[in-house]
């Protein structure tokens, strides 16, 4: 491995002494001696240069980044099958000495160039992302075959794992010094990929930040299909239109639930404490059906707001929570793609039947999915001893929006509690010492929605919602660094809501995000000020 010896200097940064490399040569960088990885090319971007890159999964188009070197690699994942992943390293000139890996989303195949630019390069991390071994949008599963097992394994964990290893070697070769600490940021499938790494390869990361992980894929996909069956076919008695969700049900949910946290502001701070009763919306004789619900619709609402039990009395997945109604019809059937994505997962990965009709979903499909995804797509191991125990002392920050319309927040609670119980019984370790879960009022899947939702999570800055600062209290990435390197564990964050979720329109209000299982309560004063709220 050829490497240019960088000129080292030391600055006193937020976290003490940080080594900064200068003088590394992007255009002459070579990476020849690593088995199973080939350098495809390097591109130097000077400060302020236009970075305009698009792939099937992710895109970036900005001239606001500091100078960096883009390194593109082909990483062999199974030589005998000829399978490989495309992996990129984005290496800032003003390096903070740390490695930061990023995850993907859905069943997409494409390097996460958005987070590489808007998180790694803006923060000074050496960033890494892989296409997971295939090329597709986030909602297209046809690449998986049926029967394309190498592609499925690559997407499940292998491309990420090999890319982390190669990526660290590239960093060392480029800067002449290995990263002092390694971090990870991902949401949704990205959250699942991060969990898979710490469960399977606990040495790889010192700290991970995980949003709403799709880690129980074998249950998530059937749950999404089940939700769709509660909404389809359009026009059937139980089907609930977009207008009813937004104009009627959401308003009634707010009427029943919004004030419980002390302020009626359109945000339900903790939906666990509201027992929403849809019966109040039942049509009276002669009432206009645009202003009320029939009995089938009320039963459908009970199903989507409650844990889903088969007649076998098996826990399948968490429910929708009251408050996210404006996103739920999209999550169930339409504009947000949960149904198509989940149907593809079951068709191409589990049943190997491209003609499978999702209305035939039954419990046997879930049992088969559990078998197929055990060891691949599922990342549900509760044993984090190797990662979090004294030999490694890894840390997890996990976040989820209460209004998540794609993956029930109940899934995040369920995994966290599974780890909590297992680890306490197995090791006596206190979960707060290594794993903290934060619930975000009003936030939809990974980002957006109505609530204080900007705090440095995956995709947020790229989506127009950057953290208001890189202080650990405003930014989850800075917080995981402070926890790992300084021992300062986060108790809460201060997140912001930008007008129309667009930072160019200014901050509308800022609020704390509480550590689970605490709830956010209004304590009096200016509702736009974070000091008017407390985690109780
Ligand atoms: C980087 O390497 C190229 C090719 O070897 C060379 O032409 C260029 O002068 C080098 N730039 C710096 C800043 O060292
Ligand atoms: C970005 O690239 C696309 C083609 O990939 C091009 O159409 C577009 O004009 C570019 N935008 C800017 C601002 O350069
Ligand atoms: C590599 O691919 C070949 C051909 O598909 C397969 O037989 C073999 O099991 C794969 N190896 C691994 C480690 O996945
Ligand atoms: C990915 O697929 C798209 C559309 O089929 C194609 O335009 C693009 O070149 C492919 N990218 C790679 C890296 O193969
Ligand atoms: C579909 O293929 C996968 C391997 O890719 C296998 O595990 C699964 O059992 C197959 N499903 C059926 C219904 O045969
Ligand atoms: C209950 O579980 C058994 C065994 O997996 C399965 O055959 C049966 O279809 C399930 N019943 C229902 C109603 O799903
Ligand atoms: C949990 O993981 C640790 C470390 O890898 C291992 O020693 C232990 O046996 C595991 N516990 C169980 C119950 O599998
Ligand atoms: C590091 O820890 C000290 C005390 O433990 C604390 O005062 C300080 O704010 C922490 N710094 C960061 C960046 O978290
Ligand atoms: C916050 O949003 C409300 C409602 O749209 C608006 O009236 C108010 O001016 C906004 N405040 C700020 C500071 O932008």
Tell me if 385 CB under 6 Å of ligand 7: yes
24, 136, 188, 510: the active-site residue: 188
Catalytic annotation on 188?
A: yes
What are the structural domain ranges in the chain? 1-179, 221-372
Tell me the per-residue pLDDT of 443-498, one tens digit each, with 9 for 90 and over.
999 999 999 999 999 999 999 999 999 999 999 999 999 999 999 999 999 999 99
Answer whether 291's CB lies under 8 Å from 251's CB: no
Report the nearest-CA residue for atom 3 of ligand 3: 81
H-helix or E-strand containing 44?
strand 37-45
Angle formed at CA 139 by CA 137 and CA 140, multiple of 5 degrees: 70
Which phi and psi (to 5°) does residue 266 adopt? 85, 5
Q: What is the separation of C-alpha 26 from the centre of its chain, rounded to a whole number of angstroms?
A: 31
The tokens of 492 are what?
A: 């809460």
Catalytic annotation on 392?
A: no
CA of 500 to the centre of ligand 9 (A): 10
Q: Give CA–CA dist 47/154, Å, rounded.
A: 34
Beta bridge partners of 438: 399, 515
User: Relative to the alpha carbon of 526, which ligand is closest?
Assistant: 9
Q: Which residues of the chain have pLDDT under 70?
A: 1-24, 310-311, 334-337
Tell me the per-residue pLDDT of 157-197, one tens digit each, with 9 for 90 and over.
999 999 999 999 999 999 999 999 999 999 999 999 999 99
pLDDT of residue 19: 46
If one residue of 363, 368, 369, 371 were mutated to test the ligand 6 pocket, choosing by the most ligand atoms within 8 A of its CB, it would be: 363
The tokens of 349 are what?
A: 């990965």
Report the nearest-CA residue for atom 1 of ligand 8: 486
Tell me if 50 CB under 6 Å of ligand 6: no
Shortest-distance atom of ligand 2 to CA 50: 14
Read off the pTM: 0.94
Catalytic annotation on 83?
A: no
pLDDT of residue 336: 54
H-helix or E-strand containing 218?
helix 217-231
Answer whether 492's CB lies under 8 Å from 512's CB: yes
């Amino acid at each position: 491995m050829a490497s240019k010896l960088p000129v080292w200097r030391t600055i006193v940064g937020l976290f003490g002494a940080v080594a900064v490399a200068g003088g590394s040569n992007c255009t002459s960088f070579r990476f020849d001696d690593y088995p199973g990885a080939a350098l495809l090319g390097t591109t130097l971007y000077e400060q302020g240069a236009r970075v305009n890159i698009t792939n099937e999964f992710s895109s970036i188009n900005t001239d606001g980044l500091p100078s960096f070197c883009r390194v593109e690699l082909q990483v062999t994942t199974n030589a005998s099958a000829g399978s490989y992943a495309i992996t990129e390293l984005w290496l800032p000139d003003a390096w903070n000495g740390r490695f930061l890996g990023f995850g993907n989303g859905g069943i997409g195949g494409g390097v996460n160039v958005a987070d590489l630019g808007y998180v790694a390069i803006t923060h000074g991390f050496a960033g890494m992302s892989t296409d997971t071994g295939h090329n597709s949008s986030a909602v297209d599963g046809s690449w998986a075959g049926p029967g394309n097992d190498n592609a499925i394994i690559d997407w499940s964990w292998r491309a990420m794992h090999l890319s982390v290893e190669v990526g660290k070697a590239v960093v060392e070769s480029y800067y002449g010094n290995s990263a002092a600490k390694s971090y990870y940021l991902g949401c949704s499938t990205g959250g699942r990929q991060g969990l898979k790494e710490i469960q399977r390869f606990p040495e790889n990361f010192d700290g991970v930040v995980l949003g709403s992980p799709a880690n129980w894929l074998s249950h998530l996909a059937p749950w999404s299909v089940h939700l769709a069956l509660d909404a389809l076919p359009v026009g059937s008695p139980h089907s609930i239109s977009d207008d009813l969700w937004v104009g009627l049900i959401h308003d009634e949910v707010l009427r029943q639930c919004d004030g419980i946290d002390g302020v009626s502001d359109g945000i339900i701070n903790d939906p666990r404490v509201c027992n929403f009763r849809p019966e109040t919306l039942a049509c009276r004789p002669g009432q206009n059906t645009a202003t009320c619900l029939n009995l089938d619709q009320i039963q459908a609402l009970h199903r989507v707001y409650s844990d889903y039990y088969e007649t076998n009395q098996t826990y399948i997945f968490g429910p929708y929570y009251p408050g996210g109604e404006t996103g739920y019809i999209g999550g169930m059937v339409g504009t947000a793609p949960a149904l198509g994505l989940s149907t593809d997962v079951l068709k191409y990965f589990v049943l190997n039947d491209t003609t499978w009709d999702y209305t035939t979903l039954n419990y046997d499909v879930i049992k088969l999915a559990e078998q197929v995804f055990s060891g691949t797509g599922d990342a549900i191991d509760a044993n984090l001893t190797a990662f979090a125990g004294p030999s490694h002392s890894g840390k997890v920050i996990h976040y989820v929006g209460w209004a998540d319309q794609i993956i029930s927040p109940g899934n995040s609670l369920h995994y966290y509690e599974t780890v909590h119980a297992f680890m306490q019984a197995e090791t006596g370790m206190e979960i707060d010492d290594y794993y903290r879960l934060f619930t975000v009022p009003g936030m939809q899947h990974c980002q957006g929605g109505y609530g204080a939702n900007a705090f440095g999570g995956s995709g947020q800055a790229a989506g127009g919602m950057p953290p208001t600062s890189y202080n650990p209290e405003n930014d989850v990435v800075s917080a995981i660094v402070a926890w790992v390197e300084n021992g300062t564990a986060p108790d809460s964050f201060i997140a912001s809501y930008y007008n129309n979720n667009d930072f160019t329109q200014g901050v509308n209000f800022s609020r704390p995000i509480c550590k689970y299982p605490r709830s956010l309560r209004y304590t009096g004063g200016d509702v736009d000020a974070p000091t008017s709220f407390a985690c109780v």
